Amino acid sequence: MATKTIAGKTVQVNDEGFMTNPAEWTKEIAVALAQEEGIAELTPTHWKVIDFCRQSAAGTGGKAPTLRTITTNSGVTTKELFSLFPKGPAKKVARIAGLGKPEGCV
């Protein structure tokens, strides 16, 4: 398993750059990953989605939620999600939240 240093902390990642151990995640790591994804600042709405995804994953054995699950249950519309996390929002938010790639994402 590969490792990567993010925000000064060494974490385990897979070959696509997704963290493999959600317990290693911190908010500082989220900020650094967001910047890597081209998101300069995480707003309260970003955090709402990130927190929802982490809570959802905790209840499903660590699986990142799908786009539909996020938009149906987080209070954020699909349009808002795409503006918050452009070009593949479910995949981006999963990576920023320290989760694996959502099932069904290419």
Please give the pLDDT value at position 3.
93
Please give the pLDDT value at position 79.
96
The angle subtended at Cα 101 by Cα 89 and Cα 61, nearest 5°, is 115
| 91 phi and psi angles, rounded to 5 deg | -65, -45
Tens of pLDDT, residue by residue, the chain (106 residues):
799 999 999 999 999 889 999 999 999 999 999 999 999 999 999 999 999 999 999 988 888 999 999 999 999 999 999 999 999 999 999 999 999 888 765 4
Please give the pLDDT value at position 104.
63
Residue 43: is it exposed, middle or buried by C-beta count within 10 angstroms (0-12/13-18/19+)? exposed
Please give the pLDDT value at position 106.
47
